[in-house]
A and B are shown apart, each in its own frame.
Chain A
Amino acid sequence: AQSVTQLDSQVPVFEEAPVELRCNYSSSVSVYLFWYVQYPNQGLQLLLKYLSGSTLVKGINGFEAEFNKSQTSFHLRKPSVHISDTAEYFCAVSDRGGGSEKLVFGKGTKLTVNP
């Protein structure tokens, strides 16, 4: 079974500072990896995804993530955050092979950007 660990439940940062949100996964098979963002009272929106190819993935709103197979990590980064980036961020994993296609989520990281 797959699982996702988001190591930080809350991350406060100042505007224009860099940020890294950490994600580690556990799986016995090859996986696809995703980062989603959830703004208050809304559903989840995709930020970026890793399916194959380059391990550095760029997404919307200036976010990027790097897939590290040896460390089973998929950390999310942004070099300079804005107030509008305040939201909850979820890392997710799904089976790449012929098994279940269900998407398993981490518990989320609340990013708060302060002026």
Chain B
Amino acid sequence: DAGVIQSPRHEVTEMGQEVTLRCKPISGHNSLFWYRQTMMRGLELLIYFNNNVPIDDSGMPEDRFSAKMPNASFSTLKIQPSEPRDSAVYFCASTPGRRTEAFFGQGTRLTVV
């Protein structure tokens, strides 16, 4: 398997623009997580899905952030409108179940100028 695939790897956008980050989990994994990594706050869980259903979105910073998982092989994280403080590395991870580790993608480095 190719692992968790995220796109794009790098994104530079202007403040106010819409940004969409994409994730393809490992086939057969039923849980998917979106994390944000910054120097100040470390790794924060934004939202996680189980069987395509959002289970916990308490980490989503505000209404500007939204996430969807329309099917088992694809998820998106959207920021609209983007702000400079959204600049971070965003990771997607998937897992086949509770007793196993999460497998991480390479991340998307987002810069909002």
Contact = CB atoms under 8 A, between A and B. Distances in A.
Q: For the side of the interface on B, what is the size category?
A: 20 to 34
Interface residues of A, number: 22
A101 B95 CA distance: 10
Interface of A: 32, 34, 36, 42-46, 49, 51, 90, 94, 96, 100-108
A104 B101 contact: no
B91 A43 contact: yes
Given A105-B42, A107-B42, A32 B107 contact: no
Nearest to A48: B101
Contact of B99 (A44, A51, A100, A105): A51
Interface stretch (B12-20, B43-51, B65-73, B74-82): B43-51
Given A101-B31, A102-B48, A108-B42, 20 more contacts: A36-B101, A43-B91, A43-B105, A43-B106, A44-B93, A44-B104, A46-B101, A100-B55, A101-B48, A101-B50, A101-B95, A102-B45, A102-B55, A103-B33, A103-B93, A104-B45, A105-B42, A106-B42, A107-B43, A108-B43
Tell me if B's interface is mostly helix, strand, loop or mixed: strand
Interface in B94-113: 95, 98-99, 101-107
B59 to A, nearest CB: 9
A101 B104 contact: no
Contacts of A43: 4, 91, 104-107
B104 A45 contact: yes
A102 B56 contact: yes
Contacts of A100: 55-56
